[in-house]
Amino acid sequence: MTGGGQPVEAALAPVPLDIASKLTLPLEEYEKQHPAGAQVRWGIVGAGRVCHDFVQALKVLPCARVVAVAAREGARAEKFAQRHGIARWYEGYQQLVEDPDVQIVYVGTVQSEHLVHATMALQAGKHVLVEKPAGLDATQVRTMVQLARAKKLFFLEGMWTRFFPAVEHARHLIFERKEIGEVSQVMSDFGFNSFEQEKYPESPMYDPQLGGGALLYVGVYPLAAVSWAFRGKAPDQLVGVGHYDMQLSVDMSGSLALRYGRHGASVSYGLMCESAEETSVVGTEGRLIIHTPAHCPLSITVSSKKNGRGNVVHNQLSFALPQSTPEIAEAGGFNYPNSIGFAYEAAAVMRCLLSGLLECPQYPPEESIVVAEMMDAARVQVQCSAKGT
Ligand SMILES: NC(=O)C1=CN([C@@H]2O[C@H](COP(=O)(O)OP(=O)(O)OC[C@H]3O[C@@H](n4cnc5c(N)ncnc54)[C@H](OP(=O)(O)O)[C@@H]3O)[C@@H](O)[C@H]2O)C=CC1
Ligand SMILES: O=C1OC[C@@H](O)[C@H](O)[C@H]1O
């Protein structure tokens, strides 16, 4: 698309990971690059908490326009539309994906429904940004990727972490400036006390039928972090243990070890308590820490190794979030930490659409599949360990 909102016709080859960091731009620069008056018209599937946060973040991007929202119940969609000044609302998602004014659909529904709703949108000829985890397993993710490619439509799993300037800069320092040498070890964790925000046991977060559980909700983040540090490669080996809530049959925490040739990674995640939430990438000549909250980070420390054990020089870098607006405050702020940072992901998506790219170099579909495969492997291991088999 060259502006003006025509559908993307040409599928372009995915951009190699190496140039991902060259797409890092301050938000104003994204806007300047767009042709005058260019707009991307979003439709929102779901009227829950993350949909609210995503729509709030779009408000800092002049190129973004939300034209419609849909919920299972009309009254809920209507209330959401009124709150955010959205022109049209629908009862049921099908009508939204058929709305000719919608160019890209944001799927923010419960995890078990991502495949259903992303497929619905792609079948209707709409580009798709689907919340993490894209699917419940690798087969589901492959199905969506294949469909998007067959229809020459944009598809991205909303692994929003990738688009935070802190992460894009970390990748630039590691892979282009080779600041820490060869990546050798990665440690990443994400845990929070879900009982503070989710009703137990009613919340979808604890319902295996709705895609609940620690691995799919939070384990996906440290696994995706390990994945970028090892350049999207699949690990040679993955072993893991974890804890299950036996009454609900849902996983509540896990610890995984991964081997990549002679290199390795460790990952832990859980829904029962708040962890330090850092990602640490250790190389032969230094290390880089993505500071907490590592799934939506604002700072990193690069440490260069000098001669002699323990002799390192640290350099901390901070990246401010986009500035909020009175309009955002009036609509009730955000439900989740640093959600205004959804603007980075949305800006990158719109930049792709406006320049005809059907896949985001920051998180190519192949990598979503690799991460889903890791989760498939982890699930088997964690289940066995939890059941003592
Ligand atoms: N990137 C991020 O930082 C975050 C991502 N997420 C992800 O967003 C997704 C939704 O999470 P969140 O917004 O917190 O959840 P909510 O419970 O607030 O919203 C759930 C949404 O799912 C829809 N839905 C569709 N079918 C069902 C069903 N059978 N049962 C219940 N709900 C259904 C609801 O639809 P309707 O409105 O039509 O009633 C609602 O919009 C998850 O994939 C989660 O992992 C969540 C938080 C932050
Ligand atoms: O992705 C997420 O899913 C669960 C949320 O509670 C968490 O904050 C988040 O970012």
For residue 35, what pLDDT is reported? Answer: 64
| Residues having CB within 6 Å of any atom of ligand 1 | 46-51, 71-72, 76, 108-111, 113, 131-132, 158, 160, 204, 210, 217, 336
Instruction: Select from 257, 172, 177 the least CA-distant residue to 222.
Output: 257
Strand partners, 59: none
For residue 371, what pLDDT is reported? Answer: 98
Question: What angle, rounded to 10 degrees, do the helices at 114-123 and 138-150 form?
Answer: 10
3-state SS of 53-109? HHHHHHCCCCCEEEEEEEECCHHHHHHHHHHHCCCEEEECHHHHHHCCCCCEEEECC
In the chain, where are the structural domains located? Answer: 5-160+326-364, 162-320+371-387
- The CATH number for 162-320+371-387, chosen from 3.90.79.10, 3.40.50.10490, 3.30.70.260, 3.30.360.10, is 3.30.360.10
Distance 290 CA to ligand 2 centre (A): 17
Could you give the C-alpha distances from 2 to 7, 66, 204, 259, 274, in angstroms and in order? 9, 19, 40, 44, 45
Eight-state DSSP code of residue 111 = G
For residue 345, what pLDDT is reported? Answer: 94
DSSP string, 158-204: E-GGGGSHHHHHHHIIIIIS-TT-SEEEEEEEEE--GGGTS-TTTSG
CA 22, CA 3: separation in Å to the nearest integer?
A: 22
- Backbone φ and ψ for 104, nearest 5 degrees, come out as -135, 135
Q: Which residue minimizes the CA distance to atom 10 of ligand 2?
A: 336
Atom of ligand 2 nearest to the CA of 197: 6
For residue 16, what pLDDT is reported? Answer: 34
Q: Is 217 in the pocket of ligand 2 (CB under 6 A)?
A: yes
Give the CATH class of 5-160+326-364.
Answer: alpha beta
pTM of the model: 0.93
CA 17, CA 30: separation in Å to the nearest integer?
A: 19
Could you give the C-alpha distances from 262 to 178, 250, 286, 306, in angstroms and in order? 19, 33, 18, 23
Q: Which residue minimizes the CA distance to atom 27 of ligand 1?
A: 110
DSSP alpha helix (H) spans, the chain: 27-33, 49-58, 74-84, 93-98, 114-123, 138-150, 165-171, 214, 220-229, 326-330, 342-355, 365-386
Tokens of 264: 């390795």
In tens digits, the chain (389 residues) has pLDDT values of 222 222 222 222 333 333 333 444 556 666 666 666 778 999 999 999 999 999 999 999 988 999 999 999 999 999 999 999 999 999 999 999 999 999 999 999 999 999 999 999 999 999 999 999 999 999 999 999 999 999 999 999 999 999 999 999 999 999 989 999 999 999 999 999 999 999 999 999 999 999 999 999 999 999 999 999 999 999 999 999 999 999 999 999 999 999 999 999 999 999 999 999 999 999 999 999 999 999 999 999 999 999 999 999 999 999 889 999 999 999 999 999 999 999 999 999 998 998 889 999 899 999 999 999 999 999 999 999 987 65
* Cβ 252 vs Cβ 271: under 8 Å: yes
Please enumerate in sequence order all residues whose Cβ is within 8 A of that of 85, keeping only pairs 6 or more positions apart, or say none: none
Q: Rg of the Cα trace of the chain?
A: 20
Atom of ligand 2 nearest to the CA of 295: 10
Atom of ligand 2 nearest to the CA of 194: 6
Please enumerate in sequence order all residues whose Cβ is within 8 A of that of 241, keeping only pairs 6 or more positions apart, or say none: 254, 255, 381, 382, 385, 386
Tokens of 286: 């230094």
For residue 151, what pLDDT is reported? Answer: 98
Instruction: Select from 135, 366, 162, 382 the least CA-distant residue to 279.
Output: 162
Instruction: Select from 219, 341, 225, 273 the least CA-distant residue to 211.
Output: 219
Q: Is 175 in the pocket of ligand 2 (CB under 6 A)?
A: no
For residue 231, what pLDDT is reported? Answer: 96
